[in-house]
Structure 1
């Protein structure tokens, strides 16, 4: 059984912020804060100084007291927008989940992580947990940049991979063009790949020893290799499909969410197209309700990044 890891310094920072939230606007001096939290005054000073420099707290130079800062307002707005978007997506995904007897998920990028914001599906059959997080770096996160601005795609591609990966630029370019043309992505995962994806939830792979990362990396396909291209999907032939995904956009044409319909079995190419079209319709409805708009592209993304 995995043992939870704790970071006392981090827990103290969280305790300071929680204390100010609970104070509901009350300004607190350094001595009082240290006393109320039961931590030393030097430790408390280091925490509030760092939080003030980052804008999470503000210091009144006249009374020498502290209060919540503007950085938390911005963070709160982003968090609120993400959860509101998840609620909107749930309403449009529920009919799909019922129609196909499958799990549908809304997820998005929050900071530097991918977060599962909401899920709907048959009771006891949901393969994911709301709140799960994954690092937003290759090989994880391709579907979160496929339909957005080209610059976002390039930034993701240039990130340090969390696991060693291979990149076939020609194939990845074909994946981008295919997904942008159809409006959805069709992905097939091997059983080993599904297990790896589950195990990676919440794991900081950057902290793994290099030799372990290399071994795990051998289990990961090259970027885009698991995505079906249109020509590979014969309408009459069955294909093993893990999931189908489509984007919802914000007002600036950026990907706000990715909506995912899990398949978890073999279906015909014709059935894949039907489900993909239905998922895109749901994503378009979410985009409209959120006041978003699909991006207008001057060019297609070209996976020419350094990694």
Structure 2
């Protein structure tokens, strides 16, 4: 394999990697050559080609930085199948650790889409769900927006809901604040009169005609969003339906979601292990995609 590698291509990789590691700096030819252990004539030729192709920029002080062509490449990579390939190993690891049904869900335009799955989501339910699309319309999609800017969450909430909403004052703000602080959100089993998003999702996935779906939803009790836990409400007597954690892109936007479907009571130790596993999968995927979590104060 080593015999097939190109020294010229290696230099390109080294230079782009160096500048990507120091995005706030502009480096001169001498600085780049010194840090990489390359000769200045060799380095100059590579820099010239990269600058001509828009992969680098060169200012009046003859210092170099990453160029605009890389933005187009990065955007193309984000929208390709590559992100899913990078996240799948963490989905496998999460399923192996928790032995539960695990999902990767993505925000695709105005829908949330199940991109991949490991394990079954409910006993006796053999449906695949991969490729299933759900409209990002309340009450569907709250978890897909919890880690986005407040304006995005407000825009989602302003859409015409499938079911009447009746959250207690400050409930959604508390759920969002807790999720951003902890890095995950817990969905609990609702009471007999609670209509959570899972019930509506099941109706949507039945592919009823739109008029019929709206008519059925109109007869459902209102959604209170109490299925989403606020810090301080932890109770081992209440079954945990699922635990979810976000994956961010390079702009700091929530792009994907890891969800472990548990549907059982958890001891404090089991809960700690499960939340740690889901958060770790989200963080590792964010890092693999070159993203960053804007709510992670420890990383600022």
Residue of structure 1 equivalent to 2:231: 230
Match of 1:89 among 84, 87, 90: 87
Greater Cα offset, 151-160 or 135-144:
151-160
Residue of structure 2 equivalent to 1:165: 165
Could you give the per-residue CA deviations for residues 48-68 of structure 1, whole angstroms, max 9, x where no partner exists? xxxxxxxxxxxxxxxxxxxxx
Which consecutive unaligned segments of at least 5 residues does structure 2 have? 1-71
Residue of structure 1 equivalent to 2:61: none
- 1:205 Cα deviation after fit: 7.5
Greater Cα offset, 206-215 or 150-159:
206-215
Query: 1:158 & 1:205 partners in 2: Cα distance?
Result: 23
Query: 2:250 & 2:199 partners in 1: Cα distance?
Result: 36
Q: How does 1:257-276 map to 2 (within 5 A)?
A: 257-276=256-275
Q: TM-score, normalised by structure 2?
A: 0.64
Query: 1:210 & 1:202 partners in 2: Cα distance?
Result: 13
Query: 2:80 & 2:263 partners in 1: Cα distance?
Result: 27
Query: 1:100 & 1:173 partners in 2: Cα distance?
Result: 30
Q: Contact conserved, 2:189 with 2:238, CA < 8 A, in 1?
A: no
Q: Contact conserved, 1:233 with 1:269, CA < 8 A, in 2?
A: no
The Cα RMSD (Å) is 3.0
Q: Contact conserved, 1:239 with 1:269, CA < 8 A, in 2?
A: no
Q: Alignment partner of 1:98: what SS?
A: helix
Residue of structure 2 equivalent to 1:221: 223
Residue of structure 1 equivalent to 2:37: none
- 1:162 Cα deviation after fit: 2.1
Q: Contact conserved, 1:107 with 1:115, CA < 8 A, in 2?
A: yes
Assess, with a 3 A threshold, how the Cα gap between structure 1 residues 226 and 79 changes in structure 2: closer, same or farther. Answer: farther
Query: 1:296 & 1:180 partners in 2: Cα distance?
Result: 6
- 1:103 Cα deviation after fit: 1.3
Match of 2:203 among 199, 206, 219: 199
Q: Contact conserved, 1:137 with 1:156, CA < 8 A, in 2?
A: yes
Could you give the per-residue CA deviations for residues 54-104 of structure 1, whole angstroms, max 9, x where no partner exists? xxxxxxxxxxxxxxxxxxxx9xx7797264322222210211211221111
Aligned residues: 218
Q: TM-score, normalised by structure 1?
A: 0.63
Query: 1:78 & 1:292 partners in 2: Cα distance?
Result: 15
- 1:225 Cα deviation after fit: 1.2
Assess, with a 3 A threshold, how the Cα gap between structure 1 residues 82 and 267 changes in structure 2: closer, same or farther. Answer: farther
Q: Alignment partner of 2:100: what SS?
A: coil
Assess, with a 3 A threshold, how the Cα gap between structure 1 residues 251 and 198 changes in structure 2: closer, same or farther. Answer: same
Query: 2:128 & 2:154 partners in 1: Cα distance?
Result: 28
Q: Contact conserved, 2:162 with 2:214, CA < 8 A, in 1?
A: no
Query: 2:153 & 2:265 partners in 1: Cα distance?
Result: 30
Q: Which of the pair has more CA radius of gyration?
A: 2
Residue of structure 2 equivalent to 1:255: 254
Greater Cα offset, 166-175 or 240-249:
166-175
Q: Alignment partner of 1:246: what SS?
A: strand
Which consecutive unaligned segments of at least 5 residues does structure 1 have? 1-73, 299-307
Query: 2:271 & 2:246 partners in 1: Cα distance?
Result: 17
Greater Cα offset, 237-246 or 135-144:
237-246
